[in-house]
Amino acid sequence: MAPTISRAAKTIGMSFIDSFAVLRLTNGFKVSLGVLRGVKQRIFLIASLIIAGLISLGVVLVAFQPPETASTTTSGTNQPILSLVQTIQIRNVAGRIDHMDIDVHGKRLFVAALGNNSVFVVDLASGILIRSITGFNEPQGVAYIPETRSLFVSNGGNGTVDVIDTSTFGVVRTISLSGDADNMRYDPVSKLVYVSFGVGYGAGLAVINSTNNRVVKEITFGNHPESFEVERNGTRIFANVPTLDLVMVANKSTGRLTTSWPPDNATANFPMALDEKGGRLFVGTWSPPKLLVFDSNSGKLISSVTISTDADDVYYDSTTGFVYVSCGEAFLNVVGPTPASSYTVLSKMPTREGGRTSLFVPALHRLFVAARAGSLPAEILVFEVASGTT
């Protein structure tokens, strides 16, 4: 780099000196260059040093400009909120991919491949597909039970829930519901599995005891619940019921509905997440594409944020306070609070078109996004999630 700077300085310096080829003093006499030879040398040296210094300074400033990143950094740190760390290709899987769950200890990811009528198992340590479990009827949800090493699979096609032994991958039990078995949640404290099911007035949530694989009760919501959240320390269940344009609340002990409220001036409220400690309920809508933030105690709307289209999963990160929204428009939206007690989109991380469903695993600081096959094979995009610490 130094020779280039020297040549540039010399060229500019000589042009600077040439402008002094003839000088006129105030008394009108000309002074020749011969008289100014000593002055010329000093000026040349000073000009060269100044110009070289300026050029060097410019190089340093360019070299230390902060790089542009695809995502916003966490407050007070230079740590990206999300970083793509792995892409796992899943070949020979066509059609829609639905929800996922994980065996953290065994490092296995379970993915409901609805369009294939199968559940595929990915080994996260090697990043390869190790098994495809077949024989399902439009599998929509999966829930892994670490205590029994069993996998619950909900079937939208026939309304059943299959219980799979993940040591042998054989079916242990099939539980029949009225139809359209869908989203699932597992409560490790009560050992209960909650499954949304049904169409019409009798639709709701089935509550299954995971220790004996039997239905304990059914909670009716008046139509099919999509995403829902069960309080760990409280008594409430929040459910999106888009066919009724309502967010509904039920008591998980009695099974009775306690209240409901409309999703602002929006429809198609599908995904949901809960900040139980902070008293915030996050509801994603399709029309218009919004993330609505409610006070979970009063139902009051706190904030309405425009997000990417076709959102299907929402997760709240209690470590950072961020909300992650996976959207089929091919973006992973990161939404966070503002100083004015509102919320805003902090970044939009590119994923892949059709990457609607996702799974956030706080224990691993990982967020998995499933992208269905199209012009490219199906993929699982693995993002590292910021811990929120320096």
CA neighbours closer than 13 Å in the CB half-sphere of residue 349: 27
Best CA proximity match to 12, nearest among 36, 58, 62, 46:
46
**Predicted pLDDT of residue 80:** 86
Beta-carbon count within 10 A of 225 CB: 29
The pTM (predicted TM-score) of the whole model is 0.81
Angle at 119 between CA 113 and CA 122, to 5 degrees: 100
**Predicted pLDDT of residue 78:** 60
**Predicted pLDDT of residue 92:** 87
Burial of 293 (0-12, 13-18, 19+ CB in 10 A): buried
Distance CA 72, CA 132 (A): 37
Which parts of the chain register pLDDT below 70?
1-78, 388-390
Residue 357 falls in which region: left (phi positive, over 0), alpha (psi -120 to 50) or beta:
beta
Burial of 324 (0-12, 13-18, 19+ CB in 10 A): buried
- What are the DSSP E strand ranges found in 135-230? 139-145, 150-155, 160-165, 170-176, 184-187, 192-197, 204-209, 214-220, 228-230
Written as one string, the DSSP assignment of 264-282 is: TT-EEEEEEEEETTTTEEE
